[in-house]
C-alpha cells in the first residue's frame, strides 16, 4: 500500500492536503516516511519539518526508474506509514525526445504510481465547479486503466450546499470521497519568485502545522485512509553501488563543509547520505552567521537556495567571503550549485538593481530578473572536471531567475533540453580547476562516481 497524493492540475492544493495528512498522522504519534515526485527542494523541507524524517525525491529523470524503486523500497520499510506527494497534474510529465524517455508522461505522478504500483488519491479544486466534478473525476479515473484511483479529496469546498452538489454528482462513479477541505482563510503558506518560502524563514510555521493537524483530524475519512497509508515491508537488497560505497567508507575520513542556513538549503538528502556512506564527515555551517569556514575541512559544498534574498547579510560577512575565496584559491575542492554558484561570483545584483559583493572567485556577476529558467537538462562534459570526466553525460535540473553577466571561456558542459534535441548553451565554471560551479542541480543517486570523485579530490587536497 501507501498512497500517492495527485492533483488534477497544478495549484489544486496537493501540498496542503499532503501536509494536513502528515501533520495529523504525527499528532497520532505515527512514524511516517514521505516522498516527493520530481526535483523540488522546498516541499520536502515542509515534509521533514512535520515528520522529523528526511523526505526523499523520486525522480527518474535525475536518477532512473530502478533507482526510484530502490529508494522507495529502502526508506518506506523503515516507517509505519508512507505517503508520496505528486508533481503538477497527475499525467503531466516529459514528452518524447531523448533516449531515457519511455512514454509521454515519463516522470509524471502517474508514471511513479505505476512504477511503484501504488493507488492514487486525486485532489480536486472545487472552488469553481459543482456538477462538473464528476466529469473531471471520471476522466482521470478512466484515462489510464493501469492506475488505481483510490478516491478523491475535495478541496476548497464553499458550503454545505456546495458539498451536497459535489457528492450528488460523484455518486454514480462510486468513487470514495476520502476527504473534504473547506475554504481556509487562516491556512496560507507564503510564496515568492521560486515557489514557497522555505521553512527556515517561517517563524510561525509550528502554529500553521498545528492548524493543519486540527483540520486533518476532522476532514479525512481515516477509517478508509489508514489501511491505505500503511507501509508494507518491500523486497530490498543493497545495490552493488551501495556495497561499493560501504567498502570505500573505510578509507581515510574527510571533512566536508556543507553550507546550510536560510540562504543555502537546497540539498538532496541522498547526496548527503552518499557522502557519509563514502566516509565523509559532514560539517554544517552558515555563510550568513559564522565568522569563518569550519576548521580542518578538506572540501566545501554550497547548495542552492536564496542568496539573493540575503545578499546584504552575505556581503556584510566579509570575513567568511574572504575565507571562502582564500580556501578555493589555495586549492580546496568546492562544489557550488545554482545559489552556490551565485555566491562564488563577484556580485549579486538584486531585483532592485542593488549590487552586493560576494566571494569573488568567478569573474562574473549574477543579475536577478523576471525571466525564469526552468527545466531538465541533458549535459555532456566538455572537459575533465572536479566531478566528472570529459564526454560524460549527466542529467540535471535548472530553476532560477538570475543570469550571469559573463559566460565561462572554458565551460564545463554543453547542455540541451531533456525533452527534445534543442541545444541550450555551454554552461558551468571549472576555473580554478578545484571548483565545480553550475546552475544545474544534480542528484547523485544514479551516479555514485560523482561523490567518489569529489572525495578523492578532497583527500588529495588534504
DSSP for 349-398, please give it.
E-TTS-EEE----EEEEEEEEEEEEEEEEEEEESS--SSS-TT-EEEEEE
Q: Which three three-digit cell numbers place residue 170?
A: 460523484
Helix (H) or strand (E) holding 435: strand 435-438
Pick the catalytic residue from 219, 338, 345, 458: 338
Q: Give dist(CA 348, CA 404) in Å, integer.
A: 9
Q: Which three three-digit cell numbers place residue 394?
A: 549527466
By CB atoms closer than 10 A (0-12, 13-18, 19+), residue 252 is exposed
pTM above 0.85, yes or no: yes
By CB atoms closer than 10 A (0-12, 13-18, 19+), residue 200 is middle
Are 343 and 356 contacting, i.e. CB atoms less than 8 angstroms apart?
Answer: no
Q: Find where cell 475535495 sits.
A: 154
Beta-strand runs (E) in 248-333: 254-259, 264-266, 280-285, 299-302, 304-305
Q: Give dist(CA 219, CA 123) in Å, integer.
A: 13
Output the tens digit of pLDDT for each of the chain's 462 residues.
699 999 999 999 999 999 999 999 999 999 999 999 999 999 999 999 999 999 999 999 999 999 999 999 999 998 999 999 999 999 999 865 455 556 789 999 999 999 999 999 999 999 999 999 999 999 999 999 999 999 999 999 999 999 999 999 999 999 999 999 998 766 788 888 778 899 999 999 999 999 999 999 999 999 999 999 988 766 666 654 555 555 555 567 899 999 999 999 999 999 999 999 999 999 999 999 999 999 999 999 999 999 999 999 999 999 999 999 999 999 999 999 999 999 999 999 999 999 999 999 999 999 999 899 999 999 999 999 999 999 999 999 999 999 999 999 999 999 998 877 777 789 999 989 999 999 999 999 999 999 999 999 999 998
Indicate left, alpha or beta for 344 from its phi (over 0: left) and psi (-120 to 50: alpha). Answer: alpha
Are 361 and 324 contacting, i.e. CB atoms less than 8 angstroms apart?
Answer: yes
Q: Give dist(CA 70, CA 87) in Å, integer.
A: 20
338 part of the active site = yes
Are 267 and 240 contacting, i.e. CB atoms less than 8 angstroms apart?
Answer: no
Q: Give dist(CA 349, CA 177) in Å, integer.
A: 49
Q: Hey, how many other C-beta atoms are within 10 angstroms of the C-beta on 391?
A: 10
Amino acid at each position: 500500500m501507501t498512497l500517492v497524493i495527485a492533483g488534477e492540475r497544478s495549484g489544486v492544493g496537493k501540498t496542503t492536503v499532503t501536509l494536513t495528512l502528515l501533520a495529523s498522522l504525527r499528532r497520532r504519534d505515527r512514524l511516517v516516511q514521505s516522498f516527493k515526485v520530481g526535483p523540488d527542494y522546498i516541499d520536502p523541507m515542509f515534509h521533514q519539518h512535520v515528520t522529523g524524517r528526511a523526505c526523499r525525491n523520486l525522480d527518474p529523470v535525475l536518477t532512473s526508474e530502478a533507482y526510484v524503486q530502490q529508494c522507495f523500497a529502502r526508506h518506506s520499510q523503515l516507517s509505519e506509514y508512507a505517503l508520496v506527494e505528486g508533481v503538477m497534474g497527475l499525467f503531466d510529465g516529459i514528452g518524447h525526445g531523448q533516449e531515457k524517455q519511455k512514454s509521454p508522461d515519463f516522470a509524471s505522478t502517474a508514471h511513479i504510481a505505476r512504477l511503484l504500483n501504488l493507488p492514487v488519491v486525486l485532489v480536486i479544486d472545487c472552488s469553481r465547479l459543482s456538477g462538473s466534478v464528476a466529469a473531471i473525476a471520471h476522466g482521470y479515473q478512466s484515462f489510464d486503466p493501469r492506475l488505481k484511483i483510490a478516491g478523491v479529496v475535495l478541496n476548497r469546498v464553499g458550503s454545505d450546499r456546495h458539498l451536497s452538489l459535489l457528492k450528488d454528482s460523484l455518486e454514480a462513479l462510486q468513487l470514495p470521497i476520502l476527504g473534504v477541505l473547506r475554504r481556509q482563510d487562516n491556512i496560507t503558506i507564503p510564496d515568492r519568485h521560486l515557489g514557497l518560502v522555505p521553512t527556515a524563514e517561517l517563524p510561525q510555521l509550528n502554529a500553521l502545522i498545528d492548524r493543519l493537524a486540527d483540520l486533518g483530524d476532522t476532514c479525512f475519512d481515516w477509517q478508509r485512509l489508514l489501511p491505505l497509508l500503511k507501509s508494507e515491508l518491500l523486497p530490498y537488497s543493497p545495490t552493488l553501488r551501495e556495497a561499493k560505497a560501504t567498502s570505500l567508507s573505510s578509507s581515510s575520513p574527510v571533512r566536508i563543509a556543507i553550507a546550510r542556513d536560510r540562504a543555502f538549503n537546497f540539498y538532496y538528502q541522498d547526496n548527503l547520505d552518499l557522502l557519509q556512506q563514502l566516509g565523509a564527515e559532514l560539517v554544517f555551517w552558515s555563510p550568513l552567521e559564522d565568522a569563518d569556514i569550519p576548521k580542518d575541512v578538506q572540501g566545501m559544498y554550497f547548495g542552492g537556495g536564496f542568496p539573493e534574498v540575503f545578499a546584504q547579510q552575505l556581503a556584510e560577512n566579509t570575513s567568511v567571503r574572504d575565507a571562502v575565496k582564500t580556501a578555493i584559491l589555495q586549492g580546496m575542492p568546492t562544489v557550488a550549485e545554482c545559489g552556490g554558484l551565485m555566491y562564488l561570483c563577484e556580485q549579486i545584483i538584486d531585483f532592485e538593481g542593488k549590487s552586493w559583493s560576494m566571494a569573488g572567485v568567478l569573474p562574473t556577476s549574477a543579475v536577478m530578473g523576471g525571466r525564469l529558467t526552468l527545466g531538465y537538462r541533458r549535459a555532456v562534459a566538455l572537459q575533465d572536471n572536479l566531478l566528472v570526466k570529459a564526454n560524460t553525460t549527466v542529467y540535471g535540473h535548472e530553476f532560477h531567475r538570475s543570469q550571469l553577466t559573463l559566460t565561462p571561456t572554458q565551460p564545463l558542459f554543453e547542455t540541451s533540453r531533456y525533452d527534445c534535441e534543442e541545444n541550450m548553451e555551454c554552461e558551468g565554471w571549472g576555473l580554478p580547476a578545484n571548483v565545480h560551479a553550475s546552475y544545474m542541480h544534480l542528484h547523485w543517486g544514479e551516479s555514485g562516481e560523482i561523490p567518489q570523485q569529489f572525495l578523492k579530490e578532497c583527500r588529495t587536497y588534504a
